C-alpha cells in the first residue's frame, strides 16, 4: 500500500516541505534510504546522510534547516523520532495477529481464558491460570499454577512464569524471560548453606515490557514488584523483593540486588549494578557500568564504581587521566630536591 506525503503529514500533524504527492510503501534508515521509502532524521550526527539519501520522504524536526540542497521531500513535525515511532506502531498493528488454541497444548484444570485469546502449540497453561481478553501466549511458553495474565498482554515463546506470579494488562514479555524463579536466599549452615524458601511472588503491573532473557526473582515473602510503564532491556537481573518504580527504564546487563527500591522514572545504564537494600529516589540516573552502594536524592546523576555525583566524577576523571604526567612531575621535583640537598652538604 502506498501513502503520499500529504497524507502522512495529515496523520502526524506535520507540514510538507517539497512534493506533497510523492509516495512511499516502505521505511528505511536514512543512511540506507531507497526510492519509495520513508526515513527520519532525529540525531544531528546523521544529518550528513540527508543530503545523499535516496529515501523519497524524510521526517525531520520542524526547526531543521538544511545546509545544502535536498532531493527528498521533508515532513516537518514536532519530534521526528516520536513521529516515526507512531508510524511504526501503526504499521505493526496492521500485521496479522494469531488467534485460537493450537494443538498440542496443555490447559490445566480450572484455567480460564478470556475472549479472542491465542495459545500457541506446546504452551503449558497450569491449573487455575487466568488469561485476560486478547492475550497471546506463544508456543513453548510456561504458565505455572495460579498465574494471572491481563488483557492484551503478549507472552512470547520460551517465557517461564512460575506459580502465583501476576502480569498486568498490555505487557510484552520477550523470549527467555523468567518470572518468579527463587530469590537467591541461603543461610550459612556448618560447612555449607541452608536454602531459605522463597514463598512470595512477582507482580508486574500494566504496560510493562521485559526484554529477552531477563530474570525477575520471586520475593522471599510478599512481592517483587515491577510498577506500571517500566521498560526492561535484555539480560537484566532483578532480585527478590526489589521494587522498580513507575516508568523506570533499565538497559541491558544491569542488575538490582535484593530489596532494592527504585523510584519513578529512574534511568539505569547498561551493566550498572545496585547494592541490596538501597533506595534510589525518583529520577535517579546511573550511567553505564556504574556500581552504586549509597541511597540517592531525587534526580541525582551518578557515575563510576563506586558511583558518585557525575559533576564531581568528571572533575576527578580529568585528574585521573593526568596521573602519569603528574607522577613524572613529582619524580622530577624529587630529583631536583635531592640534587639541591646533596649540593648543600
CB atoms under 10 Å from CB of 325, counted, come to 9
The CATH class for the domain spanning 3-94 reads: alpha beta
DSSP class of residue 235 equals: S
Per-residue pLDDT of the chain (345 residues; tens, 9 = 90+): 899 999 999 999 999 999 999 999 999 999 999 999 999 999 999 999 999 999 999 999 999 999 999 999 999 999 999 999 999 888 888 888 898 999 999 999 999 999 999 999 999 999 999 999 999 999 999 999 999 999 999 999 999 999 999 999 999 999 999 999 999 999 998 889 999 999 999 999 999 999 999 999 999 999 999 999 999 999 999 999 999 999 999 999 999 999 999 999 999 999 999 999 999 999 999 999 999 999 999 999 999 999 989 988 888 888 888 888 988 899 999 988 888 888 776
Q: What is the pLDDT of residue 90?
A: 86
DSSP class of residue 218 equals: P
List, by residue number, the catalytic residues. Answer: 240
**CB neighbour burial string for 50-82, b if at least 16 within 10 angstroms, e if fewer:** beebebbbbbbbeebeeeeebebbbbbbeebee
What residues does each domain of the chain span?
A: 3-94
How big is the CA angle at 56 (ends 55 and 57), to the nearest 5 degrees? Answer: 95
Q: What is the pLDDT of residue 345?
A: 65
CB atoms under 10 Å from CB of 233, counted, come to 19
CB atoms under 10 Å from CB of 209, counted, come to 16
Q: What is the pLDDT of residue 96?
A: 83
Report the distance separating Cα 269 and Cα 285, nearest Å: 8
Amino acid at each position: 500500500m502506498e501513502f503520499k506525503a500529504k497524507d502522512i503529514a495529515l496523520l502526524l500533524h506535520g507540514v510538507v516541505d517539497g512534493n506533497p504527492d510523492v509516495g512511499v510503501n516502505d521505511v528505511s534508515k536514512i543512511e540506507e534510504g531507497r526510492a519509495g521509502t520513508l526515513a527520519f532524521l532525529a540525531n544531528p550526527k546523521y544529518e550528513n546522510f540527508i543530503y545523499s539519501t535516496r529515501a523519497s520522504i524524510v521526517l525531520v524536526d520542524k526547526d531543521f534547516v538544511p545546509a545544502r540542497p535536498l532531493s527528498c521531500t521533508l515532513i516537518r513535525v514536532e519530534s521526528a523520532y516520536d513521529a516515526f515511532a507512531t508510524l511504526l506502531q501503526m504499521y505493526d498493528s496492521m500485521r496479522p495477529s494469531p488467534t485460537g488454541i493450537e494443538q498440542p497444548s496443555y490447559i490445566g484444570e480450572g484455567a480460564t481464558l478470556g475472549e479472542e485469546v491465542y495459545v500457541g502449540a506446546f504452551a503449558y497453561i497450569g491449573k487455575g491460570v487466568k488469561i485476560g481478553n486478547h492475550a497471546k501466549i506463544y508456543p513453548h511458553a510456561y504458565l505455572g499454577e495460579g498465574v494471572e495474565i491481563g488483557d492484551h498482554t503478549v507472552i512470547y515463546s520460551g517465557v517461564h512464569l512460575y506459580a502465583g506470579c501476576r502480569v498486568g494488562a498490555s505487557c510484552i514479555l520477550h523470549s527467555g524471560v523468567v518470572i518468579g524463579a527463587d530469590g537467591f536466599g541461603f543461610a550459612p549452615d556448618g560447612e555449607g548453606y541452608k536454602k531459605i524458601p522463597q514463598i512470595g511472588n512477582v507482580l508486574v503491573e500494566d504496560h510493562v515490557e521485559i526484554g529477552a532473557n531477563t530474570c525477575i526473582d520471586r520475593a522471599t515473602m510478599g512481592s517483587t514488584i515491577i510498577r506500571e510503564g517500566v521498560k526492561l532491556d535484555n539480560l537484566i537481573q532483578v532480585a527478590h523483593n526489589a521494587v522498580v518504580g513507575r516508568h523506570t527504564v533499565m538497559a541491558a546487563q544491569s542488575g538490582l540486588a535484593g530489596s532494592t527500591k527504585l523510584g519513578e522514572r529512574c534511568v539505569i545504564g547498561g551493566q550498572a549494578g545496585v547494592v541490596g537494600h538501597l533506595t534510589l529516589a525518583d529520577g535517579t540516573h546511573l550511567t553505564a557500568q556504574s556500581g552504586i552502594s549509597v541511597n540517592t536524592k531525587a534526580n541525582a546523576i551518578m557515575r563510576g564504581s563506586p558511583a558518585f555525583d557525575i559533576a564531581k566524577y568528571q572533575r576527578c576523571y580529568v585528574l585521573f587521566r593526568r596521573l602519569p604526567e603528574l607522577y613524572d612531575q613529582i619524580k622530577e621535583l624529587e630529583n631536583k630536591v635531592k640534587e639541591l640537598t646533596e649540593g648543600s652538604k
